[in-house]
Chains A and B, each alone.
Chain A
Amino acid sequence: MTIQYNQVLAIWQDEGGGESTNFLSVQDQTPWSGGPYGALFTAMRDLSRAGNLAVQWSQNLNVVDPAAGGPYSTVKDRLTFVLVTADGRTGQLNLPAPREDIFVAGNVLVDMSNPLVQALVAQVTATLGASDGTPWVEVRQGVRSRIR
């Protein structure tokens, strides 16, 4: 498969204004046509000795989802899932500011039988993949941590 690196981005902001961004590789690796920007990048390539590995297009989806408070509600609080492909490659999905009611006792390990978590698992396995689009077939135990 030709690697196209099609991605979706999720941009987050917590109550204190802290921001973080997810870059998520998707299973759909259909190339983008370039739209009206093909000639722009041709002109840029003509002026550069560097090779142009990729051009990406991102378009905004309007979302209404205000930040809320909670014990782990900053973007420095992370929920990490390990993702696995059928051929054994691994990746991570990091979600900022996890809600507090999805953990088992101790509030570090995720209750993987939680419906919110399993709805995410279903979406991850259906739509996301490694950088070449190979689907994730497994979402392993989620763990909460705090980055510095």
Chain B
Amino acid sequence: MRFERKKRWWLVQDHRDLHLVESEDAPKIETRHGSAELLYRGAYETRESAMEQVDRLAKAYGLALAK
């Protein structure tokens, strides 16, 4: 199955904060220190699969979803 352009759940890291955004393309996050600080952590088909990666990143690096 070829890549289908559609909304996905994007996980984006800004410093120690993770942001989960439903979007077709890379979401633009307001960063504290400019867009060069953003790290993209995957575009997931479902919110549940994105949250599984949030859990892995929490255990590995102590990251958490931004309030």
Contacts and interface: CB of A to CB of B under 8 A. Distances in A.
Interface of A: 85-86, 112-119, 121-122, 125-126, 135, 137-139
Contacts of A112: 39-40
Chain B interface size band reads: 20 to 34
Interface of B: 3, 5, 8, 10, 24-26, 38-45, 49-50, 52-53, 56-57, 59-61
A62 B53 CA distance: 29
Given A115-B24, A115-B25, A116-B3, A135 B41 contact: no
A122 B42 contact: yes
Contacts, number: 60
A138 B59 CA distance: 12
Contacts of B10: 118
A119 B8 contact: yes
Given A86-B60, A122-B43, 11 more contacts: A86-B61, A114-B26, A115-B24, A117-B40, A119-B43, A121-B41, A125-B53, A126-B44, A135-B56, A137-B56, A138-B57
A90 to B, nearest CB: 13
A75 B3 CA distance: 21
